[in-house]
Amino acid sequence: MPRYEYEVKKGPGEVVNGVLEAENKRAAVARLREMGYFPIRVDEQVEEESKDTLREAMKRIRVKDRNIFLRQLANLSESGMMITRALRTLVDQTENPKLARIVDRIRDDVQKGASLADAMEKHPQVFPSMYCSLIRAGETGGMLEEVLWRICAFGEQEEELRGKAVSAMIYPTFLLIVGSAAIFILISFVFPKFITIFEDFNAQLPLPTVIVMKICDFMGTWWWAVLLGIVGTVVLLIRYYRTEPGKRKFDGWALKIPAVNTLIIKYEMAKFSRTLGTLLDNGVPVLTSLKITADTMSNLLVRDRVAELHNGVTEGESLSETMREGPLFPPMVVSMFAVGEESGRIGDVARRIADAYDLEVDRAVKALTALFEPLLIVIMGVVIGFLVIAMLLPMLTLSSNIGA
């Protein structure tokens, strides 16, 4: 909560200075008057605020933090507590200081007359447009508690799906980093010592040893430059990926890799179906739902294709007909949406598709990990084996010459 420095008159000639916490400047002035003071000056502590802002910037709001907040808000709202009081309670209970400050700002906006959806829309980095649209529909239809519970379920399913993918890639990533570090240390610091011994014998060395010697000579001198080059390349690639042209190029490249493209399509189909189904089930119009769903897609090429659905439906085509026009949507998805349109239960069908694809994503991640791990082990084994053999061959040659 902001802190305010004040200067007030207590008596005819007595001036008092101090600091107090208040929701805003108006509340600070009101509190001072309640205490019997006449405010002369009330200023917010800018320096302290800057420190808080810096600490907040360093503290990231995780998806888990947001899900916990929404679940607590749903519980309090369901118990009959006024939304402003519920938000005030959650400001004190939220452990993430950055999220707590955002919740406090939302509470302040709601107290001034804004709807909860409008207040949340001011913080798109925390509350996506999908959440705000659902909450607006819930406020309009008088079913805010039910909508909050559906958002909680949606967020937790999304978090679980993402967690499975991340967990499956931890071991291969660790293996890649450790293996690369081992190779770097061998050719930069260990093998150059053997090369000095080989040079003292002035013997003819095998071709693999000569190749490794040249690599070691280079790395022994320029290892720092290679390391800086690798770090610089990674940083530049990350920065390029964060631009729209860069992300579009990487996303297109990912869709061309066998096995990986299958996983991406299944993940995006699960996300598309669940988002669209949740929006439609809560009374959000089809065109608005399609626009919001397109914005939630992770892959930009998939996002473009979903945005085309919005254009097709606007022109009068059915959703399933627009899906058939592109190669992105699998035939099963198109058929299921066609059935949903005929029965008038698109939302229900979409959520069933999402549940099915959640299982498919889980299986695809396990299959990709099962394929990637042994492949990575084999590649690392071949590289390290080649280096070791290249160093052992001269020793065997020298031993046979000494024995002869």
Q: Does the predicted TM-score (pTM) go above 0.75?
A: no
Q: Residue 39 forms beta bridges with which residues? A: 8
> By the 8 A CB rule, do 251 and 299 touch?
yes
Say whether pLDDT at 306 is over 90: no
- The domains of the chain, with CATH numbers, are 3-55 (3.10.20), 59-157 (1.20.81.30), 159-404 (1.20.81.30)
Q: Residue 41 forms beta bridges with which residues? A: 7
Say whether pLDDT at 297 is over 60: yes
**Better-scored residue on pLDDT, 297 or 200:** 297
How many angstroms separate the CA atoms of 22 and 26, rounded? 9
Per-residue confidence (pLDDT) for residue 148, from 0 to 100? 86
Say whether pLDDT at 116 is over 60: yes
Q: Which residue type sits at 65?
A: D
Say whether pLDDT at 48 is over 60: no
Burial class (CB in 10 A: 0-12, 13-18, 19+), 202: exposed
**Better-scored residue on pLDDT, 347 or 398:** 347
Longest dimension (CA), the chain: 113
How many angstroms separate the CA atoms of 353 and 331, rounded? 12
Residue 50's CB is within 10 A of a number of other CB atoms, namely: 10
Give the pLDDT mean for 335-359: 86
Among residues 140, 87, 173, the alpha carbon closest in space to that of 283 is found at 140
